[in-house]
Amino acid sequence: MPAESPRFERAMVWFRRDLRFVDNAALYHALKSARQVWCVFVFDTDILDRLPSRSDRRVEFIWHSLRQLDDVLVENGGGLMVRHGSAVSVIPALVKSLGVDAVFANRDYEPQAIRRDHAVAEALASGGIAFETFKDQVIFETDEVMTATGTPYSVFTPYKNNWLKTLDDFHLKPYPVEKYAAALAAPDSGGMPGLEELGFEKTNLLEIPMRPGLTGAAVALDDFLDRMDGYDRARDYPAVKGTSYLSVHLRFGTISIRRLAAEARARGGRGAETWLSELVWRDFYFQILHHHPQVAERAFKPEYDAVQFDNDPALYAAWCEGRTGYPLVDAAMRQINATGFMHNRLRMVAASFLVKHLNVHWSLGEKYFAQHLNDFDLSANNGGWQWASSSGCDAQPYFRIFNPVRQSEKFDADGKFIRRYVPELAQVPVKRIHAPWVMTHQEQLASGCVIGSDYPLPVVDHDAARRLTLERYGRIRKGGDTKPEV
């Protein structure tokens, strides 16, 4: 049979959250569908101009990752065109200058991205240019995993069960981009702007250390594969290298979600199954945001919008700066401030503490994480914060209030993680490090840490804060039972 003729003469691939050459849905479909394909990335000022800091590790991560992507594209006969401006105007302008017939991109599910893509699609359609999008950053999107009655899930476990039941080899099959690479077109002009030209400055990204791009993703995956079998046991302990450290690569698409899910499915065992479950959570929160876009602004459970919060600026600042007087919470906050990373167990502890100890609305914590997390993803971040505040889908009950001292004793028993990020407590003995305020004056002097001077007293009392939280939430729950703390 003769080869199928390409549908388009000239096409363009618009990279966004998919900064890789291999197993890339949009790139694959473009290369199959056109005789010549140009590759483009836009540093979108509609996003960048809203960032509160000109020192943002994520921008630098993208910048380094794009350099690697360009190298791979050049090796395969193409190259990457990088532009700086509003994507809504830059993409149509590039389409006109290149004379392409179609734009290919992978779907983005966040509300702002949907509005952006709609605007671009309208602009292209007015000139008779096709805009084709593809599923790439999730295994199952929007309506692909639904209840028996055709409605979206709001509880994770039945969603997960159906997700696993639906999954087969087809959903994990990689896109053979390399097979069609001959269609790549080399840009006539290019060169990537420096960080300074983008209005940003270098961060401590490479000193943390974090390895961006395709090489960083490959190294992180190889390292995790050696540890995956123990993931279910090690993932809760922040002083242990138990997590995958792949979330930032998933966020920016320097590795394929299909590759990760396939690795877990093929490995089997409790560690791999637990890891795969975390990937299912990711899809779950994406579909929650799709079906309930209001969660970006309000509680998933509307009744929880009635909970009254004090939002004390001093308490919020103490939490942000890691000086609440609760060592594990402070270590977690200092970790995110210093590195842009926070261990998942600590995300739950820190979030619960802000909402249910300091009486600060979850949206303020969500915003702080959004500004600082290297792997920030709107759907997962929003889902996590609403889970911690009991206002989200399948959230923890309102009466579940993490005791930060018990969490510290359980998950950082010897205080190793605390000592790393709260050096004031470095010489405090293990039996006191989780609640250093109980030290006698003599013990404080001996450990070189005077509480209230070298390290703060607790900004709130746990028992008192717990009672107030139960009262606040109880008012809208109409007398529901209270249960023991965790």
pLDDT confidence bin for 484, thresholds 50/70/90: very low
- Domains along the sequence of the chain with CATH: 8-136 (3.40.50.620), 138-174+214-291 (1.25.40.80), 302-477 (1.10.579.10)
- Among 188-197, 220-229, 323-332, 336-345, the range scoring the smallest mean pLDDT is 188-197
Q: Express as a percent the part of the chain with pLDDT over 90.
A: 95
| Span 194-218, average pLDDT | 96
Side by side, the strands of the sheet bearing 102-106 are: 80-85, 34-44, 8-15, 102-106, 130-134
Would you state the structure tokens that stand for residue 345, as one six-digit string?
């167990």
Q: How many residues does the chain have?
A: 486
Q: Which residues contact 274 (CB under 8 A, 6 or more apart)?
A: 231, 232, 235
As a whole number, mean pLDDT of residues 223-228 equals 97
Segment 439-462 shows an average pLDDT of 98
Per-residue pLDDT at 479 exceeds 50: no
The tens digit of pLDDT for each residue in 242-259 reads 999 999 999 999 999 999
155 vs 225: CA distance, rounded Å: 30
Spacing of C-alpha 206 from chain mean position: 19
In angstroms, rounded to a whole number, what is the distance separating the alpha carbons of residues 257 and 263?
Answer: 10
pLDDT at residue 123, rounded to an integer: 98
Determine the pLDDT at residue 478: 61
44: pLDDT strictly greater than 90? yes
338 has pLDDT over 90:
yes
Query: What is the per-residue pLDDT across 410-450, written as a single tens digit (0 to 9) for each?
Result: 999 999 999 999 999 999 999 999 999 999 999 999 999 99
- Phi/psi of residue 197, nearest 5 degrees: -65, -25
What average pLDDT does range 55-76 have in this prediction?
98
pLDDT of residue 483: 43
Average pLDDT over every residue of 33-57: 97
Structure confidence at residue 189 as a pLDDT band (50, 70, 90):
confident
The per-residue pLDDT of the chain, averaged, comes to 96
Query: Distance between CA atoms of 340 and 353, rounded to whole angstroms?
Result: 19
Give residue-wise pLDDT tens across range 112-144. 999 999 999 999 999 999 999 999 999 999 999
* pLDDT surpassing 60 at residue 369: yes
pLDDT at site 5: 84
Under 8 Å between Cβ of 375 and 247? yes
pLDDT at 28: 98
Residue 259: exposure state from Cβ atoms within 10 A (0-12, 13-18, ≥19): middle
Report pLDDT for 47.
97
| pLDDT, position 1 | 45
Name residue 411's amino acid: F
Mean pLDDT throughout 293-317?
96
End-to-end CA distance of the chain: 66
Angle at 300 between CA 481 and CA 363, to 5 degrees: 95
Q: Computed over its alpha carbons, how large is the radius of gyration of the chain?
A: 24
Backbone angles phi and psi of 318, in degrees to 5? -60, -40
